[in-house]
Amino acid sequence: MGDLAHPSKVRALAQAHDLRPSRHLGQNFLVDENIVRKIIAAAHLNGTETVVEVGPGFGALTQELLRAAGRVVAVERDPRLVQILRQELGSPPHLLLVEGDARWADWPRLLEEAHALPPRQPGSGAGGVPEAGEPRAKVVANLPYAVTAPVLVSLLESGVAWERGVIMVQREVAERLTAPPGSRVYGALTCLVTYHADAQIVARVPPTVFWPPPQVESAVVALTFRPYPGAEDVPREQLFTVIRLAFQQRRKSLRQALKTRGAPWSRDGVDHALAQAGLDPLSRAEDLGLDQFLRLTEALFAF
């Protein structure tokens, strides 16, 4: 384990570069070796994959990803931290360090650039011999809390065939990502995650593992990506139009929410669609699982 996960090293680097953590950028830097190990273990790395990291900070997680993954794409918004990362990590040939905002990243292009890099050589760290063909893609990141939702949406909607994701997020967000239908925190983001992956909280994290410590607890969420059964029969854009409009007025009944002006279906057909989908018109958006949203979408756009 490298020293970039040590609080004293991080504070020394910050002082040397006159860097004060930015609340605006959600900068709370990971300074705990045990949590780094848990994240790396949950990622199931074997040296053949390309790993995307968002917000590498001082590089506590990055240096371990470089030892375990075939290639690493690290996207950092703060130019001061990019300079520090280049200084501390050197220039490993299997690292693509990008200065930019992950909310607007072109993930397919970045992965294509990364795939052109030579993979980590066998024997330079844990892992197996790189496989032939296109490397697999994973996300392993301590997501900046100020932009967790938009970055996650950017990754999920990128069109990349992710295999696995391990992300550290605010505990409330983790509960939202893994919430069952009927929960007060279940929402459109939950449905988006469910559409793409099975999500599970694998570790709860106290504020003390960060510098500076945030005012909230955190959690590590593992995402196992897979096609959602039956989703191939319903256009994705239609499905998430229904989900978005249903949750925009989540206090209203489905019948009321779906009859909103401007919806791309007939208002007169809403009652028929609800009946065809086998749904109570007085139920609310948070009562529906993704299977029910799929049935409702088919019924609404078929009328």
Q: Any bridge partners for residue 164, and if so which? A: 138, 224
DSSP 232: G
Nearest to 293 by CA among 252, 251, 244: 244
Residue 201 has phi, psi (to 5 degrees) of -75, 125
On whether the CB atoms of residues 277 and 297 are closer than 8 A, the answer is: no
Element holding 199 (H helix, E strand): strand 197-205
What pLDDT sits at residue 166? 98
Distance CA 13, CA 32 (A): 16
Kindly report the pTM of this predicted structure: 0.92
Least reliable range by pLDDT among 51-60, 93-102, 142-151, 158-167: 142-151
Does residue 25 come out as left (phi exceeding 0), alpha (psi in the -120 to 50 range) or beta? alpha
Distance CA 10, CA 18 (A): 12
Domain boundaries, the chain: 3-225, 231-302
On whether the CB atoms of residues 140 and 39 are closer than 8 A, the answer is: yes
What architecture does CATH give domain 231-302?
Orthogonal Bundle (1.10)
Q: Which CATH number fits domain 3-225: 3.90.1170.50, 3.40.190.10, 3.40.50.150, 3.40.50.410?
A: 3.40.50.150
Least reliable range by pLDDT among 95-99, 221-225, 265-269: 265-269
What pLDDT sits at residue 133? 54
What pLDDT sits at residue 130? 44
Q: Residue 127 pLDDT > 50, yes or no? A: no
Q: Determine the average pLDDT of the residues in 87-106.
A: 96
